[in-house]
Structure 1
Amino acid sequence: MSLSINKKQKMPLHIKIFIGLFAGIIVGYILNFMGGLNNPMIKDHIIPFLSFLGSIFLKSIKMVIVPLVFFSVTDAALSLGDIKKLKSIGIKTVLFFLGGSALSATIGLVVANIIKPGKGILLGSVSKEVATKELPGMYQTILNLIPNNPFASLTNGDMMPVIVFSLLLGFSIILMGEKGEPLAKIINNLSEAMFNIINMIIKITPYGVFGLMSVAMAKYGTAIFGPVLKFIVTDYISAIVMITVVYSLMLIFIAKVNPLNFWKKAIEPFIVAFSTCASSAALPVSMKTAPKLGVSKEISNFVLPLGATANMNGTCYYFGVIVIFASQLYGIDLSIQQQIMLVVQATFLSVGCAATPQIGLVISITLLTQMGLPLEATALVAGIYRIIDQAHTATNSSGDLVTTVCISALEGDLDREVFNDPDAGKETLATA
């Protein structure tokens, strides 16, 4: 008995979510077969209870997301350690991360607008139920980044002012030197505490997915499967474009190296990231791979750990896809201005996406809320998130190495002989 209990306790979360997903599909299909909303018993008693299960999950996520972003972004700024690093390697690193994230979110938007994963089923009469928030002009957008009152921004969940204030707070603590170290430790501990809360909330994801999926199936039947499959295809096409096109162009034109030589050596951390869905698991492998690519430890030891937290290219294209997906499911047309603002928000939110499971799913709920979009679309994604998260994590991890090589080349520090040597590092591994 004890052995069976231990096995149940060790069941991976993504397996539990799959079980919740399929259980929701079965229960929802039965309810739909029994008449769905046309059945008074189902409409008045069963559907409200299932909706309650989903609402607990969604409200719990919304509860913690503001303090999570505040402390994690501040902690990410503190991870730079020394403002002097920003003058050379640090500035290049941050610009690469932000630029890559913005480009990734743009790719997700473009691919989603072409494939239209949310077309084919309309989840409710949205034009009356939901009104997307109008976004301000460029000058007002920049002004809105500066909070009138950071505490009010925290209370109201205005994420962009919160992020800007978090970054400024982190940099100011760095400037305090030794005096700021106790405060930095407190923020680091609070950031870890927020992720512990997220881990607790994530444990109820299977029940939330069960409730939300049951309701969706009861209302709309098997018609929802078309958009889900199209969502997976859209997400993976975005990953392929980011990896094969964007990363290759960065290596060719910025690092001025052969992308094929890069991938021959970088395939191992890519596979580890893809199979584990954990950037933290791929990080040690990436740090062993960097010297084989001709990158010095000084650069790789700074860029790669920071990238595991702040460089979320894979997560960012997912942000673009999920917002378009949700808007199309509800028949909402997002303007170009709104989509541009999405890119800006996704770029800065990615700074706080630490390497923890399901974090992309959590942050995407924030984006949907900020844009005034319904959260129910996350039910369709949560159950298959493990499938797409493999591509997200692999894209994130590969982007860290690509950035490391590019910065090394710009710093004039890249050993091109080692980079082009197919046997570089093999002797070291053999004797290790």
Structure 2
Amino acid sequence: MNLTKKILIALVLGVMTGVGLSFAPSEVFSVADQYVLHPVGQLFLNLIMMLVVPIVFVSIVLGTAGLSDPVKLGKIGVQTITFYLVTTAIALLIGIGIGYLLEPGTGGDFNIGDTEYEEQTPPPVIETLINIIPENPIDAMSSGDMLQIIAFAIFIGVALAVLGDKTKRIHHLFEEANEILLFLVNLVMKTAPYGAFALIASALGGAGLDALGSMLMYMVAVILGLLLHGALTYSLAIWGVGKGNPLTFYKAFFPAMSVAFSTSSSSATLPVSMRMAQEKLGVRKSVSSFVQPLGATINMDGTGIMQAVATVFISQVYAIDLGFTDIVMVILTATLASIGTAGVPGVGLVMLAMVLNQVGLPTEGIALIIGVDRLLDMLRTSLNITGDAACAYIISEREKRKDTQPVQANEKV
């Protein structure tokens, strides 16, 4: 049985176990979670997180050095940022449309009198941009600041590319380190079914069916938005721009999506998603190593859909109408905030608070969705990393076609 089938079976068993535990007495769930589910799930998360920083650093250094031409690196960077911003804006439009179509905030029995939410203030966009350059790269690595790690790795990669033969032994050392890390990723992935089972069973068992029932329409709206964005936006981009088969893409990338679903972390899934993109989808390592780590930090299409639906939901619960200008501000604020708030803990809810403030909605409404946010976070993380991989695949395929054009022209002559 291959890994994909094992993970799929683990997901199904995890859902069944979680639902079963939600019906059981709270003491039963508490014991099962404390002594079995949480330890197994946390061990799996720790194994993956152990590899995130070294594999991001090593991969981006090799990817940047492999591109060799700084101009080419700049073009790929512009294409990447453009793809992420455009798809995030589309995701927000889908979320707003579904919010108004399904109206999840009307007709429900929501207790808004006791809602409280402690709002976090994100750093200004300018401060975030300045802080991309690390004062201390070692400190950035120890704290897991992905934007700073990416920036430092790009500098090292450019230096290796420019110096060429002078640093070939260092370049070879990075290549050997990359082989070691890929071996460890393959090793850790053997534990993925057990980790996925434990994490999902713990999340579902802890949520309880009461919380799910009261927020059912909101959850349906978010899930529908995620499915539509994946099935339409990404599929059309893969087919139209990448000239690939979306079904083949999703089938090959499924193990990474399932790990993202169970961990709810784009960064934690990064070693797996890069491996799937390079080995199963044929994405060039130089492109994957640059595009996917950057996407794991700033690309949040799934989060954008949640913010759009949540904004409409909260406006309906509090009976506050949003005008056309407000909707435009939601799209602009959330799209730009996806980069500006990168690296902030609980970034999805922080961005949502920014959006609500921008259009004059009470941030206390966020307390209504916190109960089910953990479950939806699992799904939107899967969509986020799929968008990263789709971007890497499209750019890689375009680069391959560019490289073969001169050869084909010479053959005709």
Question: TM-score, with normalisation over the residues of structure 1?
Answer: 0.59
Q: CA deviation at 1:205?
A: 1.9
Counterpart check, 1:95 vs 2:78:
yes
User: SS state of the match for residue 69, structure 2?
Assistant: helix
Report if the CA contact (8 A) 2:14-2:198 is conserved.
Answer: yes
Find the aligned partners of 2:223 and 2:85 in 1 and give their Cα distance. 21
Find the aligned partners of 2:172 and 2:208 in 1 and give their Cα distance. 51
Q: Among 214, 220, 233, which residue is 2:205 paired with? A: 214
Q: Which moved more, 1:48-57 or 1:170-179?
A: 48-57
Q: Which amino acid aligns with 1:234?
A: G
Report if the CA contact (8 A) 1:118-1:231 is conserved.
Answer: no
Counterpart check, 1:104 vs 2:87:
yes
Counterpart check, 1:144 vs 2:125:
no
Q: Deviations over 1:390-428 (max 9, x none)?
A: x97599458624663378569974969x9xxxxxxxxxx
Give the structure 1 partner of residue 252 of structure 2: 276
User: SS state of the match for residue 19, structure 1?
Assistant: helix
User: 1:73-92 maps to which residues of 2 (within 5 A)?
Assistant: 73-80=56-63, 82=65, 85-92=68-75
Report if the CA contact (8 A) 1:109-1:321 is conserved.
Answer: no
Q: CA deviation at 1:188?
A: 1.5
Q: Among 397, 402, 410, which residue is 1:404 paired with? A: 397
| Identity of matched residues, % | 11
Counterpart check, 1:14 vs 2:8:
yes
Find the aligned partners of 2:399 and 2:303 in 1 and give their Cα distance. 30
Q: Among 128, 137, 141, which residue is 2:116 paired with? A: 128
1:414/1:101 CA distance change after superposition, 3 Å: farther
Find the aligned partners of 2:98 and 2:30 in 1 and give their Cα distance. 34
Report if the CA contact (8 A) 2:65-2:160 is conserved.
Answer: no
Q: Which amino acid aligns with 1:27?
A: L
Find the aligned partners of 1:236 and 1:10 in 2 and give their Cα distance. 20
Report if the CA contact (8 A) 2:98-2:225 is conserved.
Answer: yes
Q: Among 160, 169, 175, which residue is 1:179 paired with? A: 169
Gaps of at least 5 residues in structure 1 are 1-6, 32-41, 252-261, 288-302, 350-363, 419-432
Give the structure 2 partner of residue 241 of structure 1: 233
Q: Deviations over 1:379-399 (max 9, x none)?
A: 3454x689x66x975994586
Count the aligned residue pairs.
349
Q: CA deviation at 1:329?
A: 6.7
Q: Deviations over 1:28-72 (max 9, x none)?
A: 2x24xxxxxxxxxx45x3454466466557755775676544222
Find the aligned partners of 2:218 and 2:406 in 1 and give their Cα distance. 47
Q: Which moved more, 1:122-131 or 1:227-236?
A: 122-131
User: SS state of the match for residue 203, structure 1?
Assistant: helix
Find the aligned partners of 1:127 and 1:160 in 2 and give their Cα distance. 34
User: 1:376-387 maps to which residues of 2 (within 5 A)?
Assistant: 377-380=373-376, 382=378
1:407/1:375 CA distance change after superposition, 3 Å: farther
Q: CA deviation at 1:20?
A: 0.7
Give the structure 2 partner of residue 342 of structure 1: 338
Find the aligned partners of 1:180 and 1:306 in 2 and give their Cα distance. 17
Q: CA deviation at 1:180?
A: 1.0
Q: Which amino acid aligns with 2:116?
A: K
Report if the CA contact (8 A) 2:83-2:391 is conserved.
Answer: no
Q: CA deviation at 1:21?
A: 1.1
Counterpart check, 1:158 vs 2:145:
yes
Q: Deviations over 1:266-299 (max 9, x none)?
A: 33xx332222325867868876xxxxxxxxxxxx
Gaps of at least 5 residues in structure 2 are 255-272, 316-328, 354-365
Q: Deviations over 1:121-174 (max 9, x none)?
A: 88999963543x322333222212122333333444433223323333444455
1:134/1:186 CA distance change after superposition, 3 Å: farther
Find the aligned partners of 1:216 and 1:61 in 2 and give their Cα distance. 21
Find the aligned partners of 2:152 and 2:334 in 1 and give their Cα distance. 23
Give the structure 2 partner of residue 167 of structure 1: 154
Find the aligned partners of 2:350 and 2:129 in 1 and give their Cα distance. 17
Q: Which amino acid aligns with 1:322?
A: T
Q: Which amino acid aligns with 1:24?
A: G
Report if the CA contact (8 A) 1:273-1:281 is conserved.
Answer: no
Q: Deviations over 1:295-333 (max 9, x none)?
A: xxxxxxxx7444445445998998332365389779989
Report if the CA contact (8 A) 1:126-1:332 is conserved.
Answer: no
Q: Which amino acid aligns with 1:400?
A: Y
Q: Which amino acid aligns with 1:179?
A: R
Find the aligned partners of 1:412 and 1:218 in 2 and give their Cα distance. 57
Give the structure 2 partner of residue 26 of structure 1: 20
Please provide the CA RMSD for this pair. Answer: 5.2
Q: Deviations over 1:190-224 (max 9, x none)?
A: 64366354764663121121121012124425445
Find the aligned partners of 2:391 and 2:157 in 1 and give their Cα distance. 27
